[in-house]
Amino acid sequence: MTFPTDWEAEKMAVMDGQSGHEAALDAFAEAANSAGDVRGTERMWQQMLRVFVSNKLAVASLVYVVAIVLFCFVGPFFYHSNQTDASASIFNVNLPPQKGFPLGTDYLGFDILGRLMFAGQSSLELGFLAAMISLVVGVGYGVFSGYVGGWIDSLLMRFVDVMLSIPGLFLLLATISLFGRSKVLLILVLGFTGWFGDARLLRGEAIALRDREFAQAVRAMGGGSGRIIWRHILPNTVSTMMTVSTFALAGSILALTSLGFLGLGIPLPETDWGAMIQFGSDNFQIGCWWQVYPVCGLFLVLIVSFNYIGDAMRDMFEVRLRER
pLDDT in tens, 292-302: 999 999 999 99
More confident residue, 3 or 286: 286
Residue 299 lies in a domain: yes
- Does some domain include residue 27? no
Mean pLDDT of 51-70: 91
pLDDT of residue 41: 53
pLDDT band at 156 (very low <50, low <70, confident <90, very high): very high
Distance of alpha carbon 155 from alpha carbon 157, whole angstroms: 5
pLDDT of residue 43: 75
Whether 111 maps to a domain, the answer reads: yes
Torsion of CA 63, 317, 250, 183, to 10 degrees: -100
Mean pLDDT on 105-129 = 90
Q: Could you tell me the residue range of the domain that residue 219 belongs to? A: 101-323
pTM attached to this predicted model: 0.79
- The pLDDT mean for the chain works out to 81
**Is residue 54 assigned to a domain?**
no
Q: Is the pLDDT of residue 39 over 50?
A: no
Q: What's residue 150's pLDDT? A: 86
**Alpha-carbon separation of residue 273 from 8, 118, 141, 234, 293 (angstroms):** 94, 9, 31, 35, 12
In a domain, 305, yes or no: yes
Q: Which of 203, 209, 223, 212 is nearest to 140 (CA)?
A: 203
- Do 111 and 103 contact (CB within 8 A), yes or no? yes
> Which range has highest mean pLDDT (115-119, 216-220, 232-236)?
115-119
> Is 91 inside any structural domain?
no
- CATH number, domain of 175, equals 1.10.3720.10
Q: Does residue 149 sit within a domain?
A: yes
Q: Is residue 177 part of a domain?
A: yes
Query: Is 98 a residue whose pLDDT tops 80?
Result: yes
Q: Which residues of 261-293 are buried (b: 16+ CB within 10 A; e: fewer)?
A: beebbbeeeebbbbbbbbbbeebeeeebebbbe
pLDDT at 144: 92
Q: What is the pLDDT of residue 8?
A: 53
Higher-pLDDT residue of 94, 119: 119
Q: Can you give the pLDDT at residue 27?
A: 46
Percent of the chain with pLDDT over 70: 85
- Of 3-12, 36-45, 262-271, give the lowest mean pLDDT range: 3-12
190 within 8 A of 126, measured Cβ to Cβ: yes
Question: Is the model more confident about 112 or about 170?
Answer: 112
Residue 132's pLDDT is 93
Query: pLDDT band at residue 232, thresholds of 50, 70 and 90?
Result: confident
Number of domains forming the structure of the chain: 1
